[in-house]
């Protein structure tokens, strides 16, 4: 629960593919926080474009469909989304629905 609740502000890094190019000031908007549904403004996040249709984004909340809503505000639509890191723990290339047990080293990384 501590890792997933938005209140704890644990970093979550995602690989994102989207359907159209981002608006010119996307990096700055994400860095400042994006207003979603006129309900709340996200915490400042980090956007790292890879090319015109993919990027990494690191968020510190993880609210319902947050990344998808953020990209809609950046004038594009998410077509693929995969979490690649949570806290200090790099996630492996698990197949859809696949799980693995955490090691002692994993637990130590999550506590950092």
pLDDT for 18 equals 97
Residue 102 has pLDDT above 80, yes or no: yes
Structure token pair of residue 89: 């723990």
Query: For residue 17, what pLDDT band results from cuts at 50, 70 and 90?
Result: very high
Residue 53 has pLDDT above 90, yes or no: yes
pLDDT for 98 equals 83
Candidate from 1-5, 39-43, 49-53 with smallest mean pLDDT: 1-5
Q: Going by C-beta distance under 8 Å and a sequence separation of 6 or more, which residues neighbour residue 3?
A: 10, 86, 87, 110
Span 70-89, average pLDDT:
93
Please state the pTM of the whole predicted model: 0.89
Contact present, 78 and 70 (Cβ < 8 Å): no
Contact present, 53 and 21 (Cβ < 8 Å): yes
């Amino acid at each position: 629960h501590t890792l997933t609740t938005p209140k704890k502000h644990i970093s979550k890094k995602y690989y994102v593919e989207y359907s159209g190019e981002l608006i010119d000031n996307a990096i700055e908007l994400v860095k400042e926080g994006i207003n979603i549904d006129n309900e709340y403004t996200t915490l400042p996040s980090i956007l790292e474009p890879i090319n015109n249709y993919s990027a990494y984004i690191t968020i510190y909340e993880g609210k319902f469909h947050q990344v998808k809503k953020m990209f809609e505000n950046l004038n594009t639509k998410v077509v693929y989304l995969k979490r690649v890191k949570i806290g200090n723990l790099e996630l492996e290339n698990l197949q859809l629905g696949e799980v693995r047990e955490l090691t002692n080293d994993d637990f130590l990384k999550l506590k950092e």
